[in-house]
């Protein structure tokens, strides 16, 4: 199969930034609850942090190594970096303009005030001065810069202040500059007492307090300027798993260095002097393109907690109670219900509790002899992990495949691995060179003298908190063929030997890619033969060139293709003669769209697969992933009716991708407003 030419593909890095624009549009949407708009603004900052820590860091590494490798769309690393820098600067400027000119004023209209230093009255100024001496000054360590005090090591994403000084200190020194690091334990936003603030919710930024009183740290000297700054560093961990004998120990040794990787971005307050900005850039070995001057706090992520602190339900999304499948609501014996037939769970509209019940009941059930589970992301206080620990303590054979290289969850996973090992569970770290990203749990139970398998397969993580925030499907099944495949997959991961042929599951790195391409090609052949053919696929990202080539060929054969891609999509839709039958949309709303669904019309005998994998190179070839079929006709209809059709109909939170890679928000025109997530909430949940 010929791969797509570069001019038919969209750049991955620019596609990621385009997604951040769609998230930022949520913060700019007046129909959104106001505190949720603030939260979306913070989410953009968090996403951008990771983008720089990983994606921009990777580009810089390529540039440093003088790499000539071009991206799929034909750009060199330097060309990509220039395009990314220009786009990112514009995005950040738009973000702060929205923060200052819309979010802050509108919050003030609703009684939530961020009180700036220039607006403190005498009572507020006195309270803040007392707060500085009581809470801040004892834990601040100013570092004067001179030959005895070189520029300090600055932690990744920490808040710091560069201070310009004049005069001489007690030792006659006059370096002219100092750095004050704000300890991470200090809150970045402080709530004033109501009687001091003069309103119910009055907040002051830590940076404002320190700016007002930084002179107290440099007695007898004059502060000429005080500027916030924050440096973002390369946070990708390098562990040579081919050379490492103990992956967990190697990773534990590498984690502390994440805070001090090579600098990739410098953020400073907009009032920072040109000389100080140049000085800081030199300290971090950065160029002018790496500088981001921001009109406000240099770390908006730390405002993420403000909506939780403000008790204003009218300014937030309405709470809801996730539904329980009727069968599970009637009977507490989850195994009896699974034996009656497969159970489909649609999170967050349906509760994650049945998954917890499945593992907890198995852990406590004397008839259960063995449990196996994959762990990618699960949280620091996971009931599921506690249940597995309890199962191991009670003598069950417990095997847990812990993915230690789950980015930014490495430390939590290391801790769970250690706790599981302490109680006798078998803990393995997957396969060298392949992340274990599949979401699988297997329970083996003795019934009437025979062993029977039960399984849970999902599109999302075993993480109860994100199950309230991400859309995902899960399947509880006792189907002999599927559970046998799950068992084989665990044996393959934990043991050694050739990959056996699975009956029902598609699996990377062996069959998932070839099966997806074959299914697309089958639709192409059906269309060429004049038979019903269509493809609908929903996922986070589409980048893999061979899949894109197959989709282009299917479009040319007349296959109607609808792609619901939340994030980056390298395919260009709507190009005459190439992709005019392909439509790409992205839905961005209250919940993070995380479901992977692959639908093939198959001449009328519809096939529906759910998966843990996006259509990306890494998912197909460098990860252990699964795709699993929905065999029950009623459940298949549910997946189509809940997971696909509403998103194709959405005209509120949907964005249509244009052939040049830009996105246009779908407008209601004369049609009635229809939001997929709102409709699913109404269909499946109960209001509080």
Phi, psi for residue 479 in degrees, rounded to 5: -55, 125
Cα 634-635-637 angle, rounded to 5 deg:
65
Q: How far apart are CA 650 and CA 104, in angstroms?
A: 30
* Cβ 443 vs Cβ 578: under 8 Å: no
Q: How far apart are CA 628 and CA 618, in angstroms?
A: 19
Write the DSSP string, 612-664.
S--BSHHHHHSEEEEEEE--SHHHHHHIIIIIIHHHHH--SSEEEEPTTS-EE
* DSSP 3-state of 605: coil
Q: Is 388 left (phi over 0), alpha (psi -120 to 50) or beta?
A: alpha
**164: nearest Cα among 147, 150, 148, 144:** 144
The residues that bridge with 113 in the sheet, in sequence order, are: 202
Q: How far apart are CA 232 and CA 265, in angstroms?
A: 5
Q: How far apart are CA 229 and CA 267, in angstroms?
A: 5
CB count in 10 Å sphere of residue 138: 7
Q: How far apart are CA 564 and CA 597, in angstroms?
A: 9
User: Which stretches of 99-188 are DSSP H helices?
Assistant: 104-109, 122-131
Q: How far apart are CA 470 and CA 212, in angstroms?
A: 42
Q: How far apart are CA 398 and CA 369, in angstroms?
A: 9
Q: How far apart are CA 681 and CA 472, in angstroms?
A: 14
* Cβ 627 vs Cβ 581: under 8 Å: no
| Preceding peptide of 342 cis, ω within 30° | no
State yes or no: is 437 an active-site residue. yes
Tokens of 615: 């259509």
* Cβ 120 vs Cβ 190: under 8 Å: no
Q: How far apart are CA 264 and CA 59, in angstroms?
A: 10
Q: How far apart are CA 75 and CA 659, in angstroms?
A: 18
Length of the chain: 688
Write the DSSP string, 451-500.
EEEEEEEESS-S-TTGGGTEEEEEEEE--HHHHHHHHHHHHHHHS-SPPP
CB count in 10 Å sphere of residue 167: 13
Annotated catalytic residue within 346, 437, 513, 522: 437
**106: nearest Cα among 42, 37, 41, 39:** 37
What are the CA-CA distances from residue 79 to residues 73, 85, 290, 313, 552 (Å)?
Answer: 11, 10, 15, 47, 27
* DSSP 3-state of 600: strand
* Cβ 518 vs Cβ 539: under 8 Å: no
Helix (H) or strand (E) holding 263: strand 263-269
Write the DSSP string, 311-356.
--GGGSPPPEE-B--HHHHH-S-HHHHHHHS-EEEEETTB-SHHHH
By annotation, the residues acting in catalysis are 437
């Amino acid at each position: 199969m010929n791969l797509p030419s570069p001019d038919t593909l969209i750049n991955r890095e620019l596609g990621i930034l385009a997604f951040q624009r769609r998230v930022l549009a949520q913060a700019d949407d007046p129909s959104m609850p106001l505190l949720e708009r603030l939260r979306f603004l913070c989410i953009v900052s968090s996403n951008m942090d990771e983008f720089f820590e990983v994606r921009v860091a990777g580009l810089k590494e390529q540039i440093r190594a003088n790499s000539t490798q071009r991206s799929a769309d034909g750009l060199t690393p330097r060309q990509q970096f220039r395009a990314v820098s220009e786009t990112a600067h514009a995005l950040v400027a738009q973000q702060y303009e929205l923060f200052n000119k819309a979010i802050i004023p509108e919050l003030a209209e609703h009684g939530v005030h961020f009180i700036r230093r220039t607006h403190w009255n005498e009572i507020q100024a006195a309270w803040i001065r007392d707060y500085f001496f009581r809470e801040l000054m004892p834990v601040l360590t100013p570092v004067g810069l001179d030959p005895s005090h070189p520029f300090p090591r600055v932690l990744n994403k920490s808040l710091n202040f560069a201070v310009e000084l004049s005069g001489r200190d007690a030792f006659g020194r006059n370096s002219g500059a100092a750095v004050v690091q704000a300890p991470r334990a200090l809150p970045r936003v402080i709530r004033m007492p109501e009687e001091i603030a003069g309103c119910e919710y009055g907040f002051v930024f830590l940076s404002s307090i320190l700016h007002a009183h930084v002179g107290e740290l440099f007695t007898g000297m004059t502060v000429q300027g005080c500027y916030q700054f924050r440096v973002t560093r390369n946070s990708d961990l390098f562990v040579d798993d081919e050379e490492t004998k103990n992956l967990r120990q190697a990773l534990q040794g590498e984690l502390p260095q994440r805070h001090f990787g090579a600098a990739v971005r410098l953020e400073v307050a907009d009032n920072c002097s040109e000389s100080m900005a140049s000085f800081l850039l030199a300290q971090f070995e950065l160029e002018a393109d790496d500088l981001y001057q921001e009109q406000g706090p240099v770390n908006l992520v730390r405002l993420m907690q403000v909506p939780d602190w403000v008790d204003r339900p009218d300014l937030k999304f309405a709470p809801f109670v996730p539904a329980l499948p009727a069968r599970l609501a009637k009977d507490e014996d989850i195994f009896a219900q699974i034996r009656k037939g497969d159970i489909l769970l649609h999170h967050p509209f349906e509760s994650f509790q049945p998954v917890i019940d499945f593992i907890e009941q198995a852990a406590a059930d004397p008839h259960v002899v063995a449990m196996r589970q994959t762990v990618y992301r699960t949280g620091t206080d996971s009931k599921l992990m506690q249940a597995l620990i309890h199962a191991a303590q009670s003598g069950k054979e417990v095997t847990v495949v812990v993915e230690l290289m789950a980015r930014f969850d490495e430390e939590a996973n290391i801790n769970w691995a250690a706790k599981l090992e302490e109680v006798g569970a078998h803990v393995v770290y997957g396969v060298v060179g392949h992340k274990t990203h599949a979401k699988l749990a297997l329970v083996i139970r003795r019934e009437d003298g025979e062993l029977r398998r039960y399984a849970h397969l999902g599109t999302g993580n075993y993480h109860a908190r994100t199950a309230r925030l991400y859309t995902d499907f899960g399947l509880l099944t006792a189907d002999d063929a599927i559970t046998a495949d799950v068992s084989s997959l665990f044996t393959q991961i934990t043991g050694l030997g050739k990959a056996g042929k699975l009956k029902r599951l598609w699996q990377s790195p062996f069959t998932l890619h070839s099966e997806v391409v074959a299914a697309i090609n089958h639709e192409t052949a059906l269309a060429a033969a004049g038979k019903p053919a269509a493809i609908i696929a929903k996922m986070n990202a589409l980048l893999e060139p061979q899949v894109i080539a197959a989709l282009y060929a299917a479009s040319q054969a007349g296959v109607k293709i609808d792609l619901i891609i939340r994030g980056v999509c390298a395919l260009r839709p709507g190009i005459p003669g190439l992709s005019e039958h392909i439509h790409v949309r992205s839905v961005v709303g209250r919940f993070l769209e995380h479901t992977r669904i692959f639908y093939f019309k198959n001449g009328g005998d519809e096939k529906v697969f759910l998966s843990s994998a996006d259509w990306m190179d890494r998912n197909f070839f460098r990860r252990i992933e699964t795709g699993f079929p929905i065999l029950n006709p009623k459940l298949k209809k549910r997946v189509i009716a809940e997971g696909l059709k509403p998103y194709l109909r959405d005209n509120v939170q949907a964005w249509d991708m244009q052939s040049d890679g830009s996105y246009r928000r779908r407008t209601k025109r004369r049609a009635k407003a229809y939001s997929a997530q709102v409709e699913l909430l109404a269909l499946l949940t109960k209001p509080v």
